[in-house]
Amino acid sequence: MAENEKKVVQKKEQQQEEKPKVDFNKFPEVRKIKEKFPEAIEEMDYFREELTLRIKKDYIVKVCELLRDDPELSYNYLEDICGVHYPKREKPLEVVYHIYSVSRRTRIRLKVSLAENEEVESVCSVWPSANWFEREAYDMVGIRFANHPDLRRILLPEDWEGHPLRKDYPLEGPPGYREKWLREHLPYYNKL
Amino acid sequence: MAVKEEQQFKELMAKGTSLGKVDEDIMRETIRTQDYWINMGPQHPSTHGVLRLILSLQGERIVDTEVVIGYLHRGTEKLAEARTYHQIIPLTDRLDYLASPAMNFGYVLAVEKLMEIEVPERAEYIRVMMAELARISSHLLWLATHALDIGAMTVFLYCFREREMVLDLFEMATGGRLITSYYRIGGVAHDLPDGFLDKVKEFCEIFPKRVQDYDDLLYANRIWLSRTVNVAKISAEKGLALGLSGPSIRGSGVNWDLRRANPYSVYDKLDFEVAVFDGCDVYARYLVRRKEMLESCKIVKQCAEYLEKTSGPVMAKVPKVLKPPVGEVYMATEAPKGELAYYIVSDGSQRPYRLKIRTPSFANLIALPEMVKGHLVADVIAAIGSIDIVLGEVDR
């Protein structure tokens, strides 16, 4: 049984190595960004018919403005911003943007990698709806956005400690937190 | 504003009050206007859950609104990281508990896209049928409570009558009425029971006539019109910039329905129209949802006709232990409230490395302060109703 599983794993790994090469210049997004900001794109990926571009931190607002304002691209709808924590990487935090063009019916994913103490420029000036998504990314993963109009916690109470969607945050909450909370809020806790 | 008030004040002084002529200085000290704040929710019945609004008012006009959310936060995304792909399905039910099949649908489609699973066609039709029934049920509850908030009690009773029929159908097929957990990765849990399709067809016959009942009460009702027309207007451009999606943006004249724009499942084989109205106000959003219910009914009927003629498996061959390849997918579907999307990051293990749920209610709520600016407090109720939020989905 175990051997079979190993074989399956090996097969899968082989499949991944045989990933077909994609000509990224066929995407107008890539061409336009390369034309205007030659150094902005760090990495490109095409998986399950989804285009992913890793953008350098300093270029994110400029690239977003280009994507929104260029008539050929017209990415006018920000679908989502979320943070992901990769503790083993050199730059452990990642911001993922999903942007959609309502007129062209296409979607693009942008990524920005950040070190622990780095900030990324907010895209609220490009799409006002980024306000809440960025607040959520701050609340859940602890990504800080520069020039955000109102960077506060959104889902958790304001006095919450830590950022729950980090990988080092335990599922049950911080150790001793529950007991501490009960001790403070339950008058007869000690007598139980 | 201040100049106008000053003028009004002077007019009042010239006219005199019921007490006769009063000294102007005394009047100035006793009568003055100032901004004040009013707290609405989180236990207010017309906020549809635990939404809290802090309204900043000048007189009865709204200057600014602060939305406070998070009272129903259950950490679904964190819980999902500790569960296998199969075990996450019941968690998704609890997001929008008024249309749980639609919530399951988005999630299983995302995992299937990640793993490239081919689903049997019969299962696809069953899923679409259930999701559309959920849309009808969700819109019925929306119409019922929205009308109740604005003051039309009768509609509530009528809508619940038909919603009961849909919930009975869910109960018959899945055993659950609200939280169905019927969908599986690769298909559905089991085939439909005998006699189910007859009941569905019966429902499809009755339902359009019942929509006529709601129309008699609302469509050209003078009170309804005065409470909804030109209330909480938002232009298409502003709405998109502020993250509106689904029926809320189609009420502003944007022809964007993910079922048509990026067809998933078998929606490209089905015949239906996308409801678009360009009134930009609460009434236009009502018209969109009203038409959507009828279109969904058409889809349900087509699915039932297909399912009657065919038989076959309802589940693809999926391994018990799912180990998707390393990679990430973003799957967007048209849920009753708008664009529902799941972003899955897989590291090749049995559990997702990260599951981000982009819910329509959360994004739609961003536009609320802009919508109600300059309106009366009573119009806030109409505006909240018109974007159709469910707090389980907002707070996750």
Q: What's the predicted TM-score (pTM) here?
A: 0.84
Q: Do residues A96 and A36 make contact, with C-beta atoms less than 8 angstroms apart?
A: no
B341 close contact with A: CB closer than 8 A: yes
> Nearest-CA residue of chain B relative to A107?
B330
Looking at the predicted structure, is the pLDDT value of residue A5 above 60?
no
* Cβ-Cβ contacts under 8 Å for B159 (sequence gap 6 or more): B140, B141, B143, B144, B147, B214
pLDDT tens track, chain B, 396 positions: 466 767 777 776 676 666 555 666 666 666 666 678 888 878 777 777 788 888 888 878 888 899 999 888 988 999 999 999 999 999 999 888 888 999 999 999 999 998 888 899 899 999 999 999 999 999 999 999 999 888 888 889 999 999 999 999 999 999 888 888 899 998 898 888 988 999 999 999 999 999 988 888 888 888 888 888 888 889 988 899 998 999 999 999 899 999 988 898 899 889 899 999 988 889 999 999 999 999 999 999 999 999 988 888 888 888 888 888 888 999 999 999 999 999 999 988 889 999 999 999 999 999 999 888 888 888 888 898 888 888 888 988
Question: Is the CB of A164 less than 8 angstroms away from the CB of B358?
Answer: no
Indicate if the pLDDT at residue A1 is higher than 50: no
Q: Do residue A155 and residue B70 have CB atoms under 8 angstroms apart?
A: yes
CB contacts, 8 Å: B345 with chain A: 84
Show residues of chain B in contact with A102, CB under 8 Å: 240, 254, 256, 261
- Facing residue for B69 by CB, picked from A48, A107, A155: A155
Enumerate residues 141 to 160 of chain A having a beta carbon within 8 A of any beta carbon in chain B. 153-157
Lowest average pLDDT, out of A11-20, A87-96, B131-140, goes to: A11-20
Name the amino acid, one letter, at B380: V
A4, A77, A62: which is closest to A32 by C-alpha?
A: A62
Of A9, A79, A140, the CB nearest to B339: A79
> What residues of A are in contact with residue B243 (Cβ under 8 Å)?
77-78, 127, 129, 132
The DSSP string of B261-322 is HS--TTGGGS--PPP-----SHHHHHHHHHHHHHHHHHHHHHHHHHHHH----SB----SS-
Cross-chain Cβ contact A76/B354 below 8 Å: no
Q: What is the pLDDT of residue B45?
A: 72
Chain B residue numbers touching A79 (CB-CB < 8 A): 332, 339, 341, 358, 363
Read off the amino acid at residue B198: D
Distance CA A53, CA B31 (A): 61
**Which chain B residue has its CA at the smallest distance from A16's CA?**
B325
Instruction: Tell me the per-residue pLDDT of A19-66, one tens digit each, with 9 for 90 and over.
Output: 677 777 788 888 888 888 888 888 888 888 888 989 888 888 988 988
Q: B75 vs A164: CB contact, 8 Å cut-off?
A: yes
User: ipTM above 0.85?
Assistant: no
How close, in Å, is residue B254 to chain A by CA atoms?
A: 9
Give the gap in angstroms from C-alpha A170 to the nearest C-alpha of chain B. 9
Please state at what angle helix B121-150 crosses helix B196-218, rounded to 10 degrees.
30
Residues of chain A contacting B116 with CB distance shorter than 8 Å: 48
Query: Which domains does chain B carry?
Result: 3-68 (no CATH), 76-395 (1.10.645.10)
Q: Is B70 on the interface with A (CB under 8 A)?
A: yes
Q: What is the pLDDT of residues A99-127, one digit of tens each?
A: 999 888 899 999 999 998 888 999 999 99
Q: At what angle do helices B196-218 and B282-309 cross, to 10 degrees?
A: 160
Distances (CA, A) of A147 to A58, A96, A144: 13, 18, 10
